[in-house]
Structure 1
């Protein structure tokens, strides 16, 4: 300490005639020099001015592996930015094309009706071909029973009809797969449209619905309607009772709360229903720890963060199971 203080005093009182460099080697030793030797070139170093203030920093040289990792990270970020840009373009197209959920649902219904019409046409063709094949085979069998030679034209016709039936079966399966894919895309469009329009509505109201990440960190569950909110409320009550280490204290239609923490290891959860509009609400989960240094440490621990992060998936999972 004495040597360090003395050296620091010496450096602070020295007026440098040239650039002075400062770096720390692998053993933690501090070096000051007007030149950097090749053996020290890879260390992070600071360039000091005449007043011994840092004017420039040269970061530690990266290993080959670190350089490759950084290049990969740059590529990944570039790809991610492209995805984000495409998503923004798609979102804008979605909002510009449909002005309400009803518009979107009507467009989807029209699309599905068109699929059903196509399916009916194909199914009708399949029935017709099967009937045609049955007649051809019946005709060929009758000739065979009468010891008559089955004409090549009839045999070729049977093969042609069988091939057409096979091709129609393939087309039907492809059509069903295409319809299923479009249905999945439509469901994603509905979810995305609702998310975007709700976000825009809340921004206009002066309130913003948090992102999924923010909602998980905050412990916020957004209710789409009263019916969903009432179900989520009962589900959340089970969550509060399960993760709280203290007994229940308050339960009504606006607040669920367990008793305050009595020890440094206690966790007490509370849930409140916060109205956003006349028919929209959000459920806010809060975690309480004892007012002590250990209690405060517990409340910022990973354990508590995990409880918050589990809340929304828990409610959504339970809601999806009750809907089945």
Structure 2
């Protein structure tokens, strides 16, 4: 009885093993059959040859040991002899896709170059300055260096203008005596006037350089505060000087308007300077130097925008005269002097706007001719300050 039960259990165990074996190997057999249908024909006849799997335009999958011409540009999978994928090849790119990829790569390189450049500049900025105050001190030092050059140029202009006055006086004496003016004398007068024009243009260029310094350091200061995560406001005393960059500069578009505004500029100097006019010409007016801190001494110049085009317009520029050539603008500017500079533009353009409405188009054209007035305010009448004049020294 026990022997029959043992035999029956043994038969059932073998039957289960056969079932498990069949279930385990049936899927692999099916896969092998599928591969045999697609690969068997050439895998047996060409061992070691590269095999490919690719899809045609109709969505049908193909297996082959070589690619037909119509499949060379399509995506494909390279298979081993056993049918295992070893490498995937993307489809060939169109010319448009290739060009787009090249452009994207160029943009990525440029972007990375900008990022690297910015990081380098940030590192230099942080190494160069310990605080925002250090940065502003460096800026002020650059501004003062430019101011010293401007004061030296003003001294040159004063000497050149005195020379012109002497030469013109000599020419007038010859005319009164009925004698001809020698060409050399005429040439000296002409060349000295040209030299004055060059010096005036140089002053205007230095003023623009100062504006560039202010703008650059404003960006550096903002970046420094961001890098240092400084949240408290930084007290910057330069805003007043930046505002003066436009209020003491006036643009005129043509000779007629420039002549009118030039006459008003001379009147403004006469009304607001405490010092008498020392030298006056067609393009520069200079008062005598200040004698003390309360004196207001001015220089106003008329600078052609384009020397080769007489009717291209001019810039009228008002500035302070300091007591010495080495004195900087920051030490020369007192509240009363700043008030005079700030009133210059409004005084001239407010009056001109009321008297010459037909020239507004010309004013626009002139404004487009120079970047110095890119943020020029609208023309509107505004009262100008008029400090009490000092009496002229005896003999002047």
Q: Normalising to structure 1: TM-score of the pair? A: 0.53
In structure 2, distance between residues paired with 1:60 and 1:131: 83
Q: 1:161 to 1:85 in 2, by over 3 A?
A: same
2:45 is aligned with 1:14: no
Q: 1:123 to 1:30 in 2, by over 3 A?
A: farther
Q: Deviations 1:280-302 (Å, cap 9, x if unpaired)?
A: xxxxxxxxxxxxxxxxxxxxxxx
1:159 is paired with a residue whose SS is helix
2:194 is aligned with 1:173: no
Given the alignment, which residue of 148, 157, 164 partners 2:188? 157
Structure-2 residue corresponding to 1:303: none
- How far residue 193 of structure 1 moved from its aligned partner, in angstroms, is 1.6
Q: Deviations 1:183-220 (Å, cap 9, x if unpaired)?
A: 2222221122222222xx8xxxxxxxxxxxxxxxxxxx
In structure 2, distance between residues paired with 1:54 and 1:170: 76
1:26 is paired with a residue whose SS is coil
2:72 is aligned with 1:41: yes
Q: Where do residues 162-241 of structure 1 align in structure 2 (5 Å cutoff)? A: 162-198=193-229, 224-225=231-232
Question: CA contact under 8 A between 1:11 and 1:52: conserved in structure 2?
Answer: no
Structure 2: runs of 5 or more not aligned: 1-29, 44-48, 234-396
- How far residue 102 of structure 1 moved from its aligned partner, in angstroms, is 1.1
2:140 is paired with a residue whose SS is helix
Q: 1:186 to 1:11 in 2, by over 3 A?
A: farther
Q: Deviations 1:25-81 (Å, cap 9, x if unpaired)?
A: 333333333321111110111223456553211111012232233333333333333
Structure-2 residue corresponding to 1:293: none
Structure-1 residue corresponding to 2:153: 122
Structure-2 residue corresponding to 1:77: 108
- How far residue 11 of structure 1 moved from its aligned partner, in angstroms, is 7.4
Question: CA contact under 8 A between 1:44 and 1:60: conserved in structure 2?
Answer: yes
Given the alignment, which residue of 172, 193, 208 partners 1:141? 172
In structure 2, distance between residues paired with 1:131 and 1:120: 17
Q: Deviations 1:117-136 (Å, cap 9, x if unpaired)?
A: 22122123223322322332
In structure 2, distance between residues paired with 1:12 and 1:166: 98
Structure 1: runs of 5 or more not aligned: 1-8, 202-223, 227-324
1:14 is paired with a residue whose SS is helix
1:96 is paired with a residue whose SS is helix
In structure 2, distance between residues paired with 1:12 and 1:225: 78
1:32 is paired with a residue whose SS is strand
How many matched pairs? 196
1:23 is paired with a residue whose SS is strand
Question: CA contact under 8 A between 1:20 and 1:32: conserved in structure 2?
Answer: yes
2:80 is aligned with 1:59: no
Question: CA contact under 8 A between 2:143 and 2:213: conserved in structure 1?
Answer: no
Q: 1:176 to 1:53 in 2, by over 3 A?
A: farther
Q: Which has the larger radius of gyration?
A: 2
Structure-2 residue corresponding to 1:301: none
Greater relative CO, 1 or 2 (CA 8 Å, sep 6+): 2
Q: 1:25 to 1:170 in 2, by over 3 A?
A: farther
- How far residue 165 of structure 1 moved from its aligned partner, in angstroms, is 0.8
2:86 is paired with a residue whose SS is strand
In structure 1, distance between residues paired with 2:126 and 2:64: 63
2:128 is aligned with 1:107: no
